[in-house]
């Protein structure tokens, strides 16, 4: 009798500037496949983002389609209407392997579109202090602290609401 392979999918959730890259880098270091083509280093993240470019591109496309962006999350209902779910399914299928995962802060808004194609996901949620995160966004993106706080509140709300629905067993 042969054992069937068990797929483990790790999804890192967190807002921008909340140490998601550190967590994803650690996962990569211990053998979790975070993707073949990753977003590299830049001025705001000198060690790299550890974001699978295909997921980043898909999430940007979803948010744009829904009338938003990473710093202006569109309504959940609009995101869930995204008409190209077959492309999300193909993306997951093409990346999936025995021990894999991905990270992109935009997942706070789009994660529900991916769930039908992932078996038993493991979520790692990264939280950083509210004010520290807002100040980091304000510095990096040269926006007002008021706007940065609004961004942080939006991400915190999306992540909390998603986790409540997911762990309550609501159909997503």
Q: For the chain, which residues make up each domain, given as ranges?
A: 8-128
pLDDT in tens, 22-60: 898 899 999 998 888 877 777 777 677 788 899 999 999
Cα–Cα dist 146/132, whole Å = 13
- Asked if residue 121 lies in contact with residue 8, where contact means CB atoms within 8 angstroms, the answer is no
pLDDT at 118 (0 to 100): 93
Please give the backbone phi and psi of residue 142, each rounded to the nearest 5 degrees, phi first: 50, 50
Q: Which of 1, 3, 38, 4 shows the shortest CA–CA distance to 21?
A: 38
pLDDT at res. 171: 59
* pLDDT band at 1; cut points 50, 70, 90: very low
Prediction pTM value:
0.90
């Amino acid at each position: 009798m042969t054992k069937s392979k068990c797929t483990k999918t790790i999804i890192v959730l967190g807002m921008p500037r909340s140490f998601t890259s550190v967590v994803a880098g650690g996962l990569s270091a211990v053998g979790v496949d975070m993707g073949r083509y990753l977003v590299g280093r830049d001025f705001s993240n000198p060690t790299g983002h550890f974001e699978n470019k295909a997921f980043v591109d898909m999430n940007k496309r979803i948010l744009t389609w829904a009338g938003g962006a990473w710093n202006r999350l569109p309504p959940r209902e609009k995101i869930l209407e995204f008409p190209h779910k077959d492309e999300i399914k193909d993306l997951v299928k093409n990346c999936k392997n025995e021990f894999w995962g991905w990270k992109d802060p935009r997942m706070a808004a789009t994660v529900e579109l991916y769930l039908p194609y992932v078996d038993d996901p493991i979520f790692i949620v990264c939280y950083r202090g509210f004010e520290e995160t807002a100040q980091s966004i304000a510095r990096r993106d040269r926006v007002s602290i008021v706007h940065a706080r609004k961004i942080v509140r939006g991400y915190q709300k999306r992540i909390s609401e998603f986790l409540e629905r997911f762990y309550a067993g609501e159909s997503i």
